[in-house]
Amino acid sequence: MKITVRAFARFREVVGEIQALDLPEGSGIPALLGALASRNDESRDLLFDEQGMIREHIIFMVNRKRVGRSALQTIILAEGDEVAIYPPVAGG
Tell me which residues touch another protein (CB under 8 A): 6, 8-10, 12, 57, 59, 61, 64, 84, 86-92
Q: Which is nearer to another protein, 26 or 45 (CB)?
A: 45
DSSP 72: T
Q: Show Cβ contacts of residue 12 under 8 Å, excluding neighbours closer than 6 positions.
A: none
Q: Which is nearer to another protein, 24 or 92 (CB)?
A: 92
In angstroms, give the least distance from the CB of 7 to another protein: 9
In angstroms, give the least distance from the CB of 69 to another protein: 15
Report the length, in residues, of the chain: 92
Q: Which run of H or E residues covers position 44?
A: helix 41-47
Q: Could you give the CA distance from residue 70 to residue 31 in angstroms, rounded to a whole number?
A: 16
In angstroms, give the least distance from the CB of 26 to another protein: 26
